[in-house]
Structure 1
Amino acid sequence: MLQELFTPSVQHWLDLVGIFVFAISGALLAVRKNFDVFGIAVLAEVTALGGGLFRDLIIGAVPPSAFTDLGYFVTPLVAAALVFFLHPEVERTQVAVNIFDAAGLGLFCVTGTVKAYDYGLGLTASAALGLATAVGGGVLRDIIANEVPSLVRWDRDLYAVPAMVGSTIIVVAIHFDALSAFTSGAAVVTAFVLRLLAMRFHWRAPRAWHRRSSATELPEETP
């Protein structure tokens, strides 16, 4: 089904673009945490490939693509090298990085959902793995960097919700036998736009109703 939506060449290049921008975000966090060159490379690889690795292991697509396609492994290293030498310049283009990251989020939640369904998972499980594909690398990045994952922080703009919406659109389209390049593209664009709007207007998920906690904010990241 995935091959019917995108040609193998287009799919490969879209994956590499998503991997690259996710790797940039991981490498930048490593620089902020004062990691050495090895730590920068590790965080770039984990952020870029973690979600896809988790998905492939769950559905039994082994060995995972990250270990069978050299481009998947090398691309995060290129991003890490770029950040290592040019991180001040990369930091100044953070808005552009965020835009590409949002695009990668939209793309990966869709391709992850479709691939999971291709391997025989039900609609709900496929949507869940689509979400995991999109956000899993970021969760692993934050854990390794000793941060509360951004995914569960109330003081961060919505990230998982746009991916959930994108995955949901895909499973609804599958259910009604309406999955096509158009509906898949619509899901990607919807997740992408929702993420951009969340960053622009600082949309955040609500906290517990009538919560009694006195906490007002979580610790900021170490510069």
Structure 2
Amino acid sequence: MFETATTTLDWIGVIVFTVTGALAASRKEMDFVGFAVLGTATGIGGGTLRDLLLGLPVFWTVQPAYMLTCLLAAGLVFFTAHIPQSRYRYLLWLDALGLALFAVAGAEKALQAGASPLVAIVMGVVTATFGGVIRDLLGGESPVILSREIYASAAGAGAAVFAILTALDSPREFALGIGFAVALLVRAASLRFGLTLPRYRPRAGIPYH
């Protein structure tokens, strides 16, 4: 049951992030190869780095169906990207959904691999954000993770809630659901209300005498 819940989140997250990568390719008016590369790199990028850091077999090399699904999803977007009126708006909200999915799925996989709760939280953030970083860099955009918006911290909040609930022996599906909801709500609030974290402000230093 636990494996099924995590695998389901992983699959949905891969598809959602692949779509965001393909939508980014559509905004840059790329050809089909560009859609395939950008979509696939976004869909599997975070999970790839997570598995490498945890010393696990990279998930899509064990199950090539992930790669095939990315290519199919990117191909579908290639023929349908013109339908939504505001592709950037859809990209942002789909990215928020993928962020929340991968935050808890990444943390869960880390815990299953025997990692500590702290490492699991970090792996949740890595899984949730690295695909978006690849998408933005390949698409010639400034990575969202470096912007003023609440992004990585939303993933961290969801992964932390999941890890804490798991440490308290909460039912796995409950912990996954609450962690997902927290990450999604924090990111959605950032998008809806323009919430940001405090920024560093230049200040006068202490003069040397």
What TM-score do you get using the length of structure 2 for normalisation? 0.86
1:57 corresponds to 2:52:
yes
Aligned equivalent of 1:181, options 151, 154, 173: 173
Tell me the SS of whatever aligns to 2:103: helix
Aligned equivalent of 1:114, options 108, 114, 127: 108
Give 2:36's aligned residue.
Answer: 41
Partner Cα distance (1:29, 1:93) in 2: 8
Mark the CA change 1:131 to 1:61 in structure 2 (over 3 Å): closer, same or farther: same
Quote how far apart the aligned CAs of 1:96 are.
5.4
Number of aligned residue pairs: give it. Answer: 204
**Which whole-Å deviations, capped at 9, do the CAs of 1:17-68 have from their partners, x for residues lacking one?**
2211211111111222232221111000011100001111111211x22122
Partner Cα distance (2:87, 2:143) in 1: 23
Give 2:207's aligned residue.
Answer: none
Aligned equivalent of 1:30, options 25, 47, 55: 25
Native 8 Å contact 2:125 2:159 kept in 1: yes
Mark the CA change 1:32 to 1:99 in structure 2 (over 3 Å): closer, same or farther: closer
Mark the CA change 1:117 to 1:13 in structure 2 (over 3 Å): closer, same or farther: closer
Partner Cα distance (1:25, 1:203) in 2: 22
1:191 corresponds to 2:183:
yes
Native 8 Å contact 1:21 1:97 kept in 2: no
Give 2:121's aligned residue.
Answer: 127
Native 8 Å contact 1:16 1:71 kept in 2: no
Give 1:143's aligned residue.
Answer: 137
What TM-score do you get using the length of structure 1 for normalisation? 0.81
Native 8 Å contact 1:170 1:179 kept in 2: no
Moved more, 11-20 or 32-41: 11-20
Unaligned 5+ residue runs, structure 1? 213-223
Unaligned 5+ residue runs, structure 2? 205-209
Partner Cα distance (1:13, 1:114) in 2: 12
